[in-house]
Structure 1
Amino acid sequence: MLDISGGYVALQNLYGEYSACLDAGDFERWPDFFLDECEYRIQARENYDRKLPLSILWLESRGMLKDRVYGIRETLYHDPYYQRHIVSAPRVIGVEGGEIRSEANYLVLRTKRDEFSEVFNAGRYIDVVRETPEGLRFKSRSCIFDSEVVKNSIIYPI
């Protein structure tokens, strides 16, 4: 059974390291935050609330996350930008069988060279995190964004 008192610090650290990895553009490390059998999705709040499965990105394994990283680095053409994640403290929804169900609000700022920073995406993470011998890893991460539209294509993970 996961000890949530000590596990909460580990959960906060997972969220912080995840954000730092993406903010540094270290996308090759991004899949390491997930189990081999995992789920990562970016979905509009409207679809989530209506229990509609349509997502703008839905990856169903760590291998698919690695493919996304390859696409970012090797095949997608886009105007590069920096991200900055501002993430609230995680709220633990439940703990059962070595898994934590948690949520946190997020705000992603985007900065292109020679431009002002702008709000790029805002919403909440809905996560299932599992305890492993290597530490906590995401079993699933749903990025539920509040807006009904996305300003541009989502290239980098949220």
Structure 2
Amino acid sequence: MDAQDYFELTQLYARYASALDAADWDAWPEFFLDACIYKLQPRENHERGFPLATLSFESKGMLKDRVYGIRETLFHDPYYQRHVVGAPLVHQVDADGRIHAEANYAVFRTRLSRESTVFNVGRSIDEVVRTPQGLKFASRLVVYDSEMIPNSLIYPI
């Protein structure tokens, strides 16, 4: 992978985090291919090879449905979130250009009139492909370290 491709990959991760932090829910599905996978899974299940995931979506349409749910059907105390994402580690680039990478992350949550707290910590294990619109996630497996999630998980990680 050359420096320009790596820069584009880091920008994909940065733009993704920025969109989530800005609550730009319409932008979230656009980081993915139409036929994509997005899963949020506890580390224990991932390491043991168990398929159970907290969230599991298998298409951009399912991601858009989640956005609808966030806006129209889920009721919760409002909060802000802030992602801190490490530099992506590239494990492999396939002959067709598919990038296999991962990055550590921490998500902080701030409720109105309260202090910020650590909400979720883990890593994302990703497959990224080049499209005419730039790099997109074909698959994103978010593996969080703690088995416990405070309250409920409303927003994507």
Q: Percent identity?
A: 56
Distance 1:121 1:7 in 2: 29
- Which residues of 2 match residues 132-151 of structure 1 at below 5 A? 132-151=131-150
Distance 2:81 2:134 in 1: 25
Aligned length: 156
Q: Which residue of 2 aligns with 1:83?
A: 81
Distance 2:78 2:111 in 1: 7
CA contact (8 A) 1:108 1:121 kept: yes
Structure 1 gaps of 5+ residues are none
TM-score by length of 1: 0.97
Distance 1:5 1:131 in 2: 15
Distance 1:26 1:112 in 2: 18
Structure 2 counterpart of 1:125, one-letter code: S
Q: Which residue of 1 aligns with 2:122?
A: 123
Shift of 1:128: 0.3
RMSD between aligned residues: 0.7
TM-score by length of 2: 0.98
Distance 1:61 1:4 in 2: 30
Runs of 4+ in structure 1 over 2 Å off: none
Three-state SS of the structure 2 residue aligned to 1:128 is: strand
Within the candidate set 23, 28, 34, 1:30 is matched to 28
Q: Which residue of 2 aligns with 1:53?
A: 51
1:93 counterpart = 2:110? no
